[in-house]
Structure 1
Amino acid sequence: MAQRLLLTITALLAICTMCHADGHVCGIVTDEKGEAMVSVVIKVYGAGNNKMLKYALSGKDGRFNIPVKDEWLPAKLTFSYIGYRLKEVTVSDTRSDNKITMTEEALSLKEVTVKSAPISSHGDTLLYNVAAFRSASDRNIEDVIRKLPGISVSENGTISYQGESINKFYIEGLDLLSGRYALATKNISPDDITSVSIYENHQPKKVLKDISFSEKAALNLKLKKNRMLKPTGTVTAGAGYGDNVLWKGELYGMIIGTGSQHLVTVKTNNDGTAYGNETRMLTAGGTSYTETAAWNIFPQNPFGSASVPKERYYNNKSVSTSVNSLFKTGENTTLTLNADYQKDRNSYYNSKFTAYSTGEGEYVTVDEGNNSMTDAQEANLYLNIENNGEKLYMAERLSMRGRFRRNRYDLSGKGLPTEVQRTNDFGISNSMNGIIRKNDRVWQFSSDISFANTPLNFIRATMPGQQTATVYQNAEGLNFHTHEKTSFSWIVSSRSDLSLNVSFKSDYDRLNSIQTVPGNNAGNDNCGYKLVSTAEPAYQYNSSRLRLTFSLPVEMYDVSYKDLISQSRFILNKPFVGLRATVRYRPHGHTDINISVGKSTSTGGINDFIINPIYTTYRTATTLGTGVLSVHNTLYATAGINYRNSLDGTFATLHGNYRHTQSNILRSSNVTEDKTVADILNQTNTAHLWNIYSYAAKNFSAADMVLSLTGNITSTKRNVVRQGIGYGVTNSNYDIELSAVNRFFGDIVSTSLSCKYMLSVQDMGIISTKNKINSLTGSMKMSVFPIKALEIYFSPYYSMTKQHGTAAISNLYVDGGTRWTGKAIEIELALKNITNRKEYTIRTFRENDIYSYSYRLRPAEAVITLKLKF
């Protein structure tokens, strides 16, 4: 294993070496007073011609570093900046450090038309001009963000920049939504926004500037001046018909000022529109909630979920409301209040055909029909007080949550029951963070405390015509969690610092389960704690081109769990040593290279001591643990290259990672037509994970087109035991997606195209069996504006899956409609599933089994809505 890791590191370092193949023209640009000049435009021309070969901008310290090829020399460089005379120099070698002095020059402008560049950069800030990318068909600012090269938006609304999810979402530089930013992106009109900014390597805490660095970016929305200090929003009412009468009612309002920000939503519908993603926490660190072991015992979708949007097959009655307010109470202090409530009552029908591998090339098949009726409610409250100063950071965050499920699954098939699930879950947490910086000393401390309780959680399966449950399974639990951290940093020089991070984490858990099955009653009653004390010395070096971090975490585990039924106790006191090392190299202003290697250890918890089986569905009995604490040792290596050139709108990313995990547990299962029994074995197990992610995007501003290409390869290899036979399973997924967004004839026609191909391969080595599934999906939206205020649109979606040796399954849906937009009013007729497609079918792999799903779709529907804008 060590040899593999060494080879991986060697290959990644070779990438860095290749970046030095050509020379660099370096230097600094200053004015006549000797002060550094930022964002001076520098162009490189070849010897003896006027063809531009490279361009760049001077950095925040006035310095520039431009890669050049030897055959370009001697090269002509021009330096331009508004209000200064054009400067030309000739460079004949790459060894000198050039000092350029710019001279002021008076300007006389006559009838100048200024057109903003689509993308511009200022140091680590990237600015996208919304007007350059939006089209008249865009409903909200998320539609625009999806088009921006370098940025991607997932199905649930998560925004990523160059493959990494953002760590902050700001409106006018303030975090109003505390990580629940889909409330903004799915509601704010593009008419209200002038620009979208990306802050690369964003450190949200000012006190840690130039000390603690982030590899993630933040996004900021800049409002138009005429949208500030006044209410903006929409009121929507709609009605329609499919199989039943449809309704829709929505209110969204926002007011953004210099001293406060407010955003409110109230929404309800039964036309299939899902609101759940709007209030989902999309950034890490948004809350310090923990969950009980009992909460996740029963799966939320025990009989499958489709890969198409839920609004295609859910018959829903949904209500959602949120209130969000931020008040600036001082120059650096804010008070934020966020509250939301969701209620979703859904019904849908699907059938599931499962082929369970026996490990010998044969399969046990189970065919289930399922009519699901789910009722979920959730309420959240967040209160955050923050002082984000350059010398002092203080934050206090209180969170409260309640979740409730009332689900019913009417199963159809040979001898299948009705399954009912009931769950109540509550949580409260408080997080306090502080950072004090004085001269070359930095002290950090934080305290997270949370309590979670699941007092009600059970499933009951009853056969048709019977009163007594064939399976009754109850699981209740609670969790108390604390995490105390402190850190001391010493700034050794302007480029390096040392730090010591100390933390103490504690978890107390209890889980009680009661099982009633004819002829067999079993239960669990377990409690205990896990304490983890960590000391992590770290070193960091940072310059304009190179950043190096190295840390050595030493963790001491103190574990004690008790089985109250058998009165047995497990105790562990053991240290573990880890390693983290990261190198970030910037050969020039357009390219970043990142390499990380490390070793870590993690352990299980109370689930390892749940040794009696728990029914997670009517047919699946799962034993969660073995009575021995699970220990997972992981070695990892990651590398990435990011390139972005804002002037010509080119972005490219290539990331790769490898992870090797060794543990002392192995999953085992035995499957019959009537029952699945899953166990955990005390056996050494090794798992491998490989992933390569690539992304490239180009903005062709002259053609009003953005092209993007995404590729992803993921492969996992692990050991399993099925029917008493142990074998290795490798699941590999290869997918590539091409997207194009285009406007024609001055936005008279706009199109959005996406095509994705994916190959899934399942390889069960011991029996030399390979299963393959090919899938192809394509979607398109075309909008035509015969007159400026009238939009006619249609949106087809096509999917095809083919398992090797079986017939291909195809699905085609078409939506469409028309919309008339006035200054303060909008009327839309939306037509869904115009072809009245009845069913959606898909095949997929899950570990060593094959699943085929068919979902009954919503019928052809028409909804007319009236939207008032203010």
Structure 2
Amino acid sequence: MRRMLLLLLCWWPAFVAGQTVAPRLSGRISDTLGNAIPGATVTLIRLKDQAGLLFTTADTAGRYVFQLLPGYLKEPLAVKVTAVGFLKCQQPVDAHTTDIHFTMQVAATSLLANVTVRSQAPIVQKGDTLNYDAARFTEKSDRRLGDIIKKLPGVEVDESGVIKYKGKAINKFYIEGDNLLDDRYSIATDNINVADVEKVQVIEHNQDVKMLNGIVPSDRAGMNIILKSRSKLKFINNAELTGALPRAYAVEGKNMAFKPAFKAINEVKLNDMGLTYTRASGISGLQPPAGVDAARTLFNNSKMVNLNDLYKLNPHTGIRLNGFYLRDDQQTDNIFRTRYYLPGADSVAYTEQNHNQLQTEALSLGLNYNVNSPKTYVNVVSSLNHNRNTGHTTTAAQNSIAATNQYTSTDFNNAVNGYLIFGKKHLLNYSNVFHYAENPQQTIFEPGALQDLLNDRLPYLQTHQYQRQQSFSNGTTFGYRKVLANWTMGFNAGLNLQQQFLDSHVELLQPDRSYTIPKGFGNALHWKKSELFSGASLTYNGNRTRLTLSAPVKWQYYRYANDSLAINKDRGTRFTNEPSVNWEYRVGREHSLFLDYRLDYRTAGIEQVYGGAIISSYRNVASYETPFLMSRNHSIRAGFSYKKVIQVLFADFDVQYAATKNFFMYSTLIRDNLTVVQALPILNNSKTAGTSMRVGKYIFPLNTTIVLSGGLNTSSSQQLQNEQLFDTRSVTKSAGISVTPTVLKWLKLDISSTYLQFNSRSAQAAFRVQHLQQWKQQSGVTVYPLKGWSLNFSNQYYHFAQKGNPVTSSLFMDAYAQYNFDKTKLLLRLSCTNIAGTASFETIRLSDNMTSTASYMLRPRMLRLWMAFDF
């Protein structure tokens, strides 16, 4: 009952805000003869600064409609109309105006000399917004929005689909100005057809809360997708069907809408071809090797229904539903060879051959109510997630052992956030976040694992481990800001409450079918934490300079006790201050310098303080009784951003440094059949430093973007392994190039290459120096021999060279022939993957004093027929 009342209180402000009836402003636009002027641009402007507030276009009858919020009418406004061949018109608006009609005069013309009209520039900058012309970055073989975005100069897309600008991930992804997908925007980049895209906009210093524009600057960019007019007037329905030999299939059906009042991306898809739905769901399954498409190593049977719908009640108010159901069965096979090099001649090595199976069933539902106008902001989000996993791994090491893991997680979240503004200078903020989660888990090892540690070195039948964690938290924040010309002063205060419970125990099934309980492998841990926080901030937002100074302080009280282990308990208080500085200075019109500094304290949670050991795999045991204050970290990042929009040249350079003081150290005992990790109260320091650069230039004659990147990073830390304490220092160097030139109208090339070098050494005597060189090369050629036809051949080559070990390499080759039936909107593709018949992929990974070689079994050569069509 208490939870129901809390939900009602959270939703009540949103319900009240939604009841305001928005006034309408409409009219008709015609010429002096009374003929309608369709397509005329109509703008609602603020007279004092001519700022545009709302935009629309006249329909085929010349009519337009605006829906206004009451707050608009408190200041002088006007409606401005423009149309090609006519003189601009403008009329004022007052509180009593409901209809404004325009009669436009034909503009006077004069004879002009013949001119040649060229296509518009690929990039146009207006204020803080970069407009990329999608057509200039689209090739004939491109299918999805993501194919365009990854070629935009200044924009970077990593392997997981995260979009970055100036080295930082974007903070929002909009479609026609609306946030439909939150962080799961890969649903849009993987589904929206390139034929529907007009522009891609990058909004520098994007502030999602409209009433905070010009008050609270942002150091991150947002991205907005502008669609073609025809794509905004109808539902878009399409399907993709794939059949393959050896027998495999994939089916996708999609329903999309991008209307002003309704936006949706809904899809149903299923396959057994190794295609994962991680990007659409956020749920990761069995992990492929880094840098390799999961479809090459994954054997699966996956089904997913994905719903994303946004209903606009008015231009600033919307209700959004996001949800999915996922059923996923996955299998992989791999071999791991791991060796730890310790100071001296000592080393520990082991080999594991694994057959992995994972069954996942997940349901997620989210409901969002949002009011985001220049005068009002209310955001209410509720979500429910339920995830059930059953994993089974058979490992052949010294002895064969099977591990079965059943894991269920359920969590509910509700968040309310709102802003109010008074007198144009006073801003109030309120937010509340409620979270509840529970995740029971059961693991069975057969035959019994860790005999030396658990059962006096005697064999036994099975190990049963049970875990359950419950978590409840609630946080409330109140904030106030006052605007003084270009300065904004801010204050906030709040309270966070957290309560958790961790239960775990181990049972051993003996040969006589009886159960025994080993000592030291149980937890009944109760955890509570209360946090009071407050802070002040000062922001300056000028023409060239943006500066934010922040000084939050926290007072934390914690208490925990373990009913299963009397000595595993503690309580105390901690006061911390975590200042930060964010500064940016615009050099000229396009370039900028920036500097970020932050002091962070890392404190423990229930996962870091349990004293009873928990088994994490057939050979790994850990107990993490760390101090509440775990580390203190100073980090600084500075750089220079160079941009020439007319020349389509973007370059970013930055340096980073971080110094961390750790108040504990992990002690690791490593044996060929056992790894035990414990936390010890040993002070130690670690440091990281690095620099990176990225240059993107659009080459007009080749209609391509060339991207150059490079990086240098160093890190130093201390290790405690097998009771030996030693320092390590590692250096990582990287470089990359990517270019996709259109050499001729019928010939396109695709070339990219990345190089990575890793070195690790120690001042400790007889420490084995680690050295690895890794090279990944991708190339492809696409030929357009006849209208509608495209032929492609591509390859990926991986090369690993490690000091003291043989060189390993892998080659993947793929090809396809495609024909596009323009009139019927049918696309056919016949492809062959893994033409070389590569049976396995081997990769090498180094970290400080550890070398790991992984070999993954690959899917065989496959012939596929793919069909895509609209309906």
**Do they superpose with TM above 0.5?**
yes
Identity of aligned residues (%): 22
Match of 1:394 among 373, 378, 384: 378
> Is 1:563 equivalent to 2:567 in the alignment?
no
Aligned to 1:186: 190
| Residue pair 2:668, 2:720 contacting (<8 A) in 1 also | yes
Gaps (5+ residues) in structure 1? 1-32, 39-81, 85-103, 282-298
| Residue pair 1:713, 1:735 contacting (<8 A) in 2 also | yes
| Residue pair 1:816, 1:830 contacting (<8 A) in 2 also | yes
- What is the alpha-carbon distance in structure 1 between the residues aligned to residue 647 and residue 231 of structure 2? 30
> Is 1:241 equivalent to 2:226 in the alignment?
no
| Residue pair 1:151, 1:162 contacting (<8 A) in 2 also | yes
- What is the alpha-carbon distance in structure 1 between the residues aligned to residue 286 and residue 860 of structure 2? 23
Shift of 1:707: 0.3
Output aligned runs, 1:136-535, within 5 Å. 136-242=140-246, 245-280=247-282, 305-438=289-422, 439-462=424-447, 469-492=461-484, 494-517=485-508, 520-521=518-519, 522-535=521-534
Sort the Cα spacing of 1:791 and 1:539 in 2 relative to 1 into closer, same or farther, 3 A.
same
Q: Deviations over 1:34-61 (max 9, x none)?
A: 99999xxxxxxxxxxxxxxxxxxxxxxx
Q: Deviations over 1:688-718 (max 9, x none)?
A: 1223221100001232121001112333222
Sort the Cα spacing of 1:155 and 1:259 in 2 relative to 1 into closer, same or farther, 3 A.
same
Shift of 1:765: 3.1
| Residue pair 1:206, 1:389 contacting (<8 A) in 2 also | yes
| Residue pair 2:770, 2:848 contacting (<8 A) in 1 also | no
Opposite residue 276 of structure 1, the aligned amino acid is T
Aligned to 1:733: 732
Q: Deviations over 1:850-870 (max 9, x none)?
A: 101111111100111222124
Aligned to 1:12: none
Aligned to 2:68: none
> Is 1:790 equivalent to 2:789 in the alignment?
yes
Sort the Cα spacing of 1:106 and 1:583 in 2 relative to 1 into closer, same or farther, 3 A.
farther
Output aligned runs, 1:90-109, within 5 Å. 108-109=111-112
Sort the Cα spacing of 1:691 and 1:412 in 2 relative to 1 into closer, same or farther, 3 A.
same
Sort the Cα spacing of 1:456 and 1:333 in 2 relative to 1 into closer, same or farther, 3 A.
same
SS at match of 1:797: strand
SS at match of 1:136: coil
Aligned to 1:89: none
Aligned to 1:49: none
Aligned to 1:753: 751
Aligned to 1:718: 717
Sort the Cα spacing of 1:128 and 1:320 in 2 relative to 1 into closer, same or farther, 3 A.
same
Shift of 1:574: 2.3
Sort the Cα spacing of 1:554 and 1:339 in 2 relative to 1 into closer, same or farther, 3 A.
same
Shift of 1:178: 2.4
- What is the alpha-carbon distance in structure 2 between the residues aligned to residue 777 and residue 629 of structure 1? 43
SS at match of 1:207: helix
Shift of 1:274: 1.9
Aligned to 1:869: 870
Shift of 1:357: 2.9
Sort the Cα spacing of 1:35 and 1:432 in 2 relative to 1 into closer, same or farther, 3 A.
closer
Q: When the two structures are superposed, what TM-score results if normalisation uses the length of structure 1?
A: 0.83
Aligned to 2:641: 642
Output aligned runs, 1:39-188, within 5 Å. 108-109=111-112, 113-188=117-192
Aligned to 2:14: none
- What is the alpha-carbon distance in structure 2 between the residues aligned to residue 234 and residue 771 of structure 1? 52
Opposite residue 343 of structure 1, the aligned amino acid is R
Shift of 1:307: 4.1
Sort the Cα spacing of 1:119 and 1:642 in 2 relative to 1 into closer, same or farther, 3 A.
same
Aligned to 1:838: 839
Sort the Cα spacing of 1:709 and 1:459 in 2 relative to 1 into closer, same or farther, 3 A.
farther
| Residue pair 2:159, 2:291 contacting (<8 A) in 1 also | no
Aligned to 2:808: 809
Q: Deviations over 1:286-306 (max 9, x none)?
A: xxxxxxxxxxxxx9769x845
Sort the Cα spacing of 1:658 and 1:469 in 2 relative to 1 into closer, same or farther, 3 A.
farther
Sort the Cα spacing of 1:469 and 1:252 in 2 relative to 1 into closer, same or farther, 3 A.
farther
Output aligned runs, 1:577-596, within 5 Å. 577-596=577-596
> Is 1:658 equivalent to 2:657 in the alignment?
yes
- What is the alpha-carbon distance in structure 2 between the residues aligned to residue 394 and residue 35 of structure 1? 27
RMSD: 2.5
SS at match of 1:394: strand
| Residue pair 1:660, 1:688 contacting (<8 A) in 2 also | yes
Q: Deviations over 1:387-445 (max 9, x none)?
A: 00112100100011111111111112321301111100011100100011122101111
| Residue pair 1:168, 1:218 contacting (<8 A) in 2 also | yes
Opposite residue 608 of structure 2, the aligned amino acid is D
| Residue pair 1:83, 1:107 contacting (<8 A) in 2 also | no
| Residue pair 1:326, 1:337 contacting (<8 A) in 2 also | yes
Sort the Cα spacing of 1:108 and 1:573 in 2 relative to 1 into closer, same or farther, 3 A.
farther
Shift of 1:826: 1.0
Sort the Cα spacing of 1:37 and 1:248 in 2 relative to 1 into closer, same or farther, 3 A.
closer
SS at match of 1:834: coil
Sort the Cα spacing of 1:648 and 1:725 in 2 relative to 1 into closer, same or farther, 3 A.
same
Tell me how many residue pairs correspond in the alignment. 752
SS at match of 2:608: helix
Output aligned runs, 1:612-691, within 5 Å. 612-626=612-626, 628-691=627-690
- What is the alpha-carbon distance in structure 2 between the residues aligned to residue 83 and residue 738 of structure 1? 49
SS at match of 1:501: strand
Shift of 1:329: 0.7
- What is the alpha-carbon distance in structure 2 between the residues aligned to residue 106 and residue 36 of structure 1? 27
- What is the alpha-carbon distance in structure 2 between the residues aligned to residue 620 and residue 847 of structure 1? 20
Aligned to 1:597: 597
Sort the Cα spacing of 1:733 and 1:445 in 2 relative to 1 into closer, same or farther, 3 A.
same
Opposite residue 252 of structure 2, the aligned amino acid is E
Opposite residue 467 of structure 2, the aligned amino acid is A
Shift of 1:111: 6.7
| Residue pair 2:530, 2:557 contacting (<8 A) in 1 also | yes
Q: Deviations over 1:277-334 (max 9, x none)?
A: 12339xxxxxxxxxxxxxxxxx9769x8454221111111111221111111123111
- What is the alpha-carbon distance in structure 1 between the residues aligned to residue 338 and residue 207 of structure 2? 47
Opposite residue 306 of structure 2, the aligned amino acid is S
| Residue pair 1:415, 1:463 contacting (<8 A) in 2 also | no
Gaps (5+ residues) in structure 2? 1-46, 53-84, 88-106, 450-457, 511-515
Q: Deviations over 1:640-679 (max 9, x none)?
A: 2112221110000112211111121101111111111111
- What is the alpha-carbon distance in structure 1 between the residues aligned to residue 202 and residue 710 of structure 2? 23
SS at match of 1:714: strand
- What is the alpha-carbon distance in structure 2 between the residues aligned to residue 34 and residue 491 of structure 1? 19
Aligned to 1:742: 741
